[in-house]
């Protein structure tokens, strides 16, 4: 799997791409990976990769704000991420006290209900 950041109309999306076989298409995709510094941010998260508390999207929508960072301490009820659905912003809150282990979404990313947003230790 390769982590890539794709920018469409000024909005950045982090995606994972799986290479299935040897062909010219993956070679063409390689320059896009070099242009994306996003994978450098993802390796910082595995320091807390044992995130035992998974915080998922309660509804489909678009991530409009991420108010925490990996390694940050949070208390139950603290805002983690804001999702916009039907022109309303909904905060996704920490279910319990902990430390942010990973942030699995990017601002501007479209998410489905049940998508993992953040993990906590």
Phi-psi group of 40: left, alpha or beta (phi > 0 → left; psi -120 to 50 → alpha; rest → beta): alpha
Residues 22, 69, single domain; the answer is no
The CA distance from 32 to 71, in Å, is 29
For 94, residues 6+ apart whose C-beta sits below 8 A from its C-beta are 55, 74, 75, 76, 77, 78, 79, 80, 120
- Domains identified in the chain, total number: 2
Residues 51, 86, single domain; the answer is yes
The candidate with the shortest Cα–Cα distance to 110, out of 89, 84, 90, 86, is 84
Residues 54, 31, single domain; the answer is no
Residues 84, 35, single domain; the answer is no
Please give the model's pTM, rounded to 2 decimal places: 0.58
- Express each pLDDT in 56-91 by its tens digit: 999 999 999 999 999 999 999 999 999 999 999 999
* Averaged pLDDT of the chain: 80
Cβ 4 vs Cβ 32: under 8 Å? yes
């Amino acid at each position: 799997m390769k982590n890539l950041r794709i920018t469409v109309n000024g909005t950045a999306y982090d995606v994972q791409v799986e290479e299935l076989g040897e062909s010219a298409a993956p070679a063409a995709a390689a320059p896009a990976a070099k242009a994306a510094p996003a994978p450098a941010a993802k390796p910082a998260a595995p320091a807390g990769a044992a995130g035992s508390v998974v915080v998922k999207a309660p509804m489909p929508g678009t991530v409009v704000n991420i108010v925490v960072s990996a390694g940050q301490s949070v208390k139950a009820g603290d805002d983690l991420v804001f999702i916009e659905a039907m022109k309303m912003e909904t905060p996704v809150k920490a279910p319990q006290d902990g430390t942010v282990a990973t942030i699995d979404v990017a601002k501007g990313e479209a998410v489905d209900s049940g998508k993992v947003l953040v993990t906590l230790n």
